[in-house]
């Protein structure tokens, strides 16, 4: 065995260690940051798609109302008798609507 061969083996071990370290960091970031965010986005999309007439919802601005009608990507909310507000579906908060109605 020559010295060059031993040095080449040592360098290869260091490189493999660094690759393993970076791979581990990327894997940890995926499971603790990216995957939960994707899951939350999917739940929010499902919630927005399942909104129907008569549901009690809360907007992102904190307005509590009942869904009066759906028109494509907009929702007409009834705040009080005769008082209606037109908002985008994406302006309805999934988290606060679930808390307001008592569901999880």
Q: Within this chain, do residues 65 and 96 fall inside the same structural domain, yes or no?
A: yes
Report the alpha-carbon distance of residue 88 to residue 73 in Å, rounded.
Answer: 6
Q: Within this chain, do residues 2 and 44 fall inside the same structural domain, yes or no?
A: yes
- Looking at residue 82, its pLDDT comes to 86
- CA-based nearest residue to 75, from 60, 38, 95, 42: 60
The CATH number of residue 71's host domain is: 2.30.30
Tell me the pLDDT tens digit for each residue of 32-88: 999 999 999 999 899 999 899 988 999 998 899 999 999 989 999 999 888 999 999
Q: How confident is the model at residue 24 (pLDDT cuts 50, 70, 90)?
A: very high
Classify residue 67 as exposed, middle or buried by CB count within 10 Å of its CB (0-12, 13-18, 19+): middle
Q: Which residue has the higher pLDDT, 9 or 68?
A: 68
Question: pTM to 2 decimals?
Answer: 0.65
Question: Which domain-ending residue is among 13, 29, 50?
Answer: 50
Write out the residue range of the structural domain in which residue 64 sits. 53-101
């Amino acid at each position: 065995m020559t010295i060059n061969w031993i040095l080449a083996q040592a360098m290869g071990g260091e490189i493999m260690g660094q690759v393993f370290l970076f791979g581990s960091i990327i894997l940890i970031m995926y499971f603790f940051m990216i995957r939960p965010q994707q899951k939350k986005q999917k739940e929010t999309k499902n919630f927005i798609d399942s909104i129907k007439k008569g549901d009690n919802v809360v907007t992102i601005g904190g307005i509590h109302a009942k869904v009066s009608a759906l028109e494509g990507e907009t929702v007409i909310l009834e705040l009080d008798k005769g008082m209606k507000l037109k908002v985008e579906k994406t302006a309805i908060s999934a988290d606060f609507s679930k808390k307001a109605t008592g569901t999880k």
